[in-house]
Amino acid sequence: MIHLTRQRSSYAPSCVVDEQLTIHPILPGGEHSQPALRWLGVWFDRRLTFRRHVATRTAKAARVAHHIRSLARTTYGPPASSLRKATIACVYPSLLYGTECWYRGRTKQPHTLKPGRPQEVSAYVGWHVAAIDKTLAIAARGILPAWKTTPTAVLFRDAGLLSAAAALEEAKLRFATHLRTIDADHPLTRRTLVHTVNRGVKTGQPQRVKTKVQQMASLLPEILRTTLTAPHYSTGCRIDPTLGIDKKAAAKAFNIWWAQLPPLDVTIFSDGSEQNRGNFINNFIEPAGLTENEEDEYEAWKRSEPIAGEGVDPIKYWVELRDRHPSLSKFAIDMLSIPGSSCECERLFSELGDLLEPRRRSISPQLLAAIQCDRRWIRAGFGSGEVPVKGVISDEEMDAKYANPSEPSELLASAQLAEQANWLSSLSLLIDICGEKRVTYGFAVYQNRKQLQTGRGSLSSTSHVFDAEAVGAWRGLQHTIRQSEFNTRRIWLCIDSTSVIWCLRGDAPPTSQWAFLECHGAMETHDVSIKWAPGHLGIEGNEAADRLADLEAQHPSPPTGQAALPTLSGIKTTVRNNQLSGS
């Protein structure tokens, strides 16, 4: 037994059950030791600081890290790649065991929210992160023959290891994914629910997230809970849908098979599509009458110019090519003229020294590239170049100020104002052009090679084309079996995705499980067979379904029902993107 309390005193009374049974609590063993109770490998202390647990895990992992370090020397030992694999397989799992109990991030919500007070306070896990970082540094020094004075960040970068903060954030996202993927009967499922307020002025609004489990689950959108079902076996569940032949030969065989089908058989073709609105930029610029770009200078240089020898001065080589390739030679001379240095380029060429570096650290590379692309689009005449900011200066005025700066403060203010304007214009253009991802499906129903009915629809943007293929197959099958003239006929599901065919014939995967289970149920009550129809090879029904999916992507309809919820594959992609951006 252990008493959980926020008090700093060591008062811990015993629990008297009866005259013959008294449960004594865990008490401190030494002068500075903290009483803790071990449960499933996790040490719980009185105040739930988990310092005892982290100290125990880091000590165990440090022994493994020292052993890995003893295997390698600067002149002999295993290759660094093997030592890195050993570190990832042995040190990280030992360090991160039980992090679900104590790590929710570097900050947390206060126990009571008050007006004017900060909405987040420190979680007091700095000591824990530092202890894990120290152990990981030992393992990193075992992988690389580094000096003792090598910075820890450089060690982690060159060894290809995650720092303690990155590893803990990755473990947090893994736990959040686990909470979203467990079935409805799991004990943790009901703990992730955030109830609504049933009285007061906030009636009907969700309550404040209080527990670690609720906070971890709120990191990802809610998906449809999976169900535990018995294994599903159908005809051909262990046979390769492609039958070992290539797509072109399979397409010819499919057309022959389709022509020989009985006239009363029904074939359902379905296809999925996953597109970003950026894919429709071609449709956006076609009215402007733009044609395909001609061969650029780089391609012309590769095609026409001989390769320079080893003894040729590269600067002189590109100076001689100025007349034939002006832009490419200018770019090459600029790059070759910059001396090797660890200093940022702004410090070499900017009169303000550190003009952009502080702002660049707060902008992700993807967003920076998108903003630069949008600015070029605005200069080319596409999109709206109007920015609702007073006092915005043009690029020419900005260049003039750089050429003849009156005062550094004025130049800095102009740069800040121009940066704000570019931010607003770029973000507005991003919203207009890029938009969100669109996941759509389409299906076409045929009988005797004649198209009878079609349909299309959309899914949640937090999903993938695999989900669209599955939902499209079920929507087409559902639409067909509801027709009285078709539900007694033999039905063929013609799908171009072999992964979907494997799951329709066998067990349903966790992502879009409901669609596969619906198909399994229909296959038990109707005469339904599955056929592989290779995509984009001239099969009439598949091309029709593909056009319907693309049409839905251009003119989407709101997703309805279970298709409107995010899928497991979609939230896993969200987690992966968060991990990449965090690392």
CATH number of the domain where residue 511 is located = 3.30.420.10
- Other Cβ atoms within 10 Å of 212 Cβ, number: 18
140 and 251 in a single domain? The answer is: no
Question: 471, 515 in Cβ contact below 8 A?
Answer: yes
CA terminus-to-terminus distance, the chain: 41
254 and 143 in a single domain? The answer is: no
Beta bridge partners of 206: 196
Q: Which of 32-36, 49-53, 61-65, 190-194 has the lowest mean pLDDT?
A: 32-36
181 and 63 in a single domain? The answer is: yes
**Residue found under tokens 């960040």:** 153
Question: 484, 520 in Cβ contact below 8 A?
Answer: no
254 and 187 in a single domain? The answer is: no
182 and 81 in a single domain? The answer is: yes
List of residues 6+ apart from 174 with CB closer than 8 A? 575
443 and 545 in a single domain? The answer is: yes
* Among 173, 191, 209, residue at a domain's last position: 191
448 and 513 in a single domain? The answer is: yes
Number of domains in the chain: 2
In a domain, 67, yes or no: yes
In a domain, 489, yes or no: yes
Q: Which of 96-105, 407-416, 571-580 has the lowest mean pLDDT?
A: 407-416
Model pTM above 0.85: no
Higher pLDDT, 288 or 521: 521
User: What is the C-alpha radius of gyration for the chain, rounded to an integer number of angstroms?
Assistant: 32
Q: Which domain holds residue 485?
A: 247-278+437-582
262 and 158 in a single domain? The answer is: no
447 and 519 in a single domain? The answer is: yes
Question: 164, 61 in Cβ contact below 8 A?
Answer: no
171 and 54 in a single domain? The answer is: yes
528 and 452 in a single domain? The answer is: yes
In a domain, 56, yes or no: yes
255 and 138 in a single domain? The answer is: no
Tens digits of per-residue pLDDT, 138-191?
A: 999 989 888 888 888 888 998 899 999 999 999 999 999 999 999 888 999 989
* Among 191, 209, 239, residue at a domain's last position: 191
**Average pLDDT score, the chain:** 80
Tens digits of per-residue pLDDT, 325-368?
A: 888 888 887 777 655 544 445 444 444 444 455 555 556 666 66
In a domain, 308, yes or no: no
Higher pLDDT, 196 or 387: 196
